Amino acid sequence: MSMLEDQLGEAKSSAKKHAEASAEIISSQGLADALDYCRGQGLEPPQCSLTAASQNAEALRSKAKRMLSDAKWWERRLERKAVQDFEMRQRQSGEAKGPISDEAFQYYKDKGRR
């Protein structure tokens, strides 16, 4: 198993834990703290206004709560972050000979991406 696959496995396995933690934070402390928790994990949280008083703002807050409590949402974002972090380390160490490392190229190829 490659280093990238190891990192992806770790990131994906923690998705459920983060979703459960977010759901607990939302119910006990509120959405603002759950958004901060997401930022603390190095991810951009769902966009929503915490103060606006409109039907659209309420819908976006509701959507953000659902997203933060969803393990699949966390899995996708943690996967993307793991690949980006891996690529950054590859470039910094000089191991990526082109615009993308060989491991990341193979990963995207296997995933059916270009």
Region of residue 30 (phi > 0: left; psi between -120 and 50: alpha; otherwise: beta): left
CB 77 within 8 A of CB 22: no
Q: What is the pTM of this model?
A: 0.85
Q: Average pLDDT of 43-53?
A: 93
What is the rounded average pLDDT for all residues in the chain? 90
Query: Residue 93 — pLDDT band, cuts 50, 70, 90?
Result: confident
Residue 68: name the closest of 53, 85, 47, 83 by CA. 47
Taking residue 37's Cβ as centre, other Cβ atoms within 10 Å add up to: 19
pLDDT tens, position by position, 51-74: 999 999 999 999 999 999 999 999
Query: Residue 76 — pLDDT band, cuts 50, 70, 90?
Result: very high
* pLDDT for res 113: 57
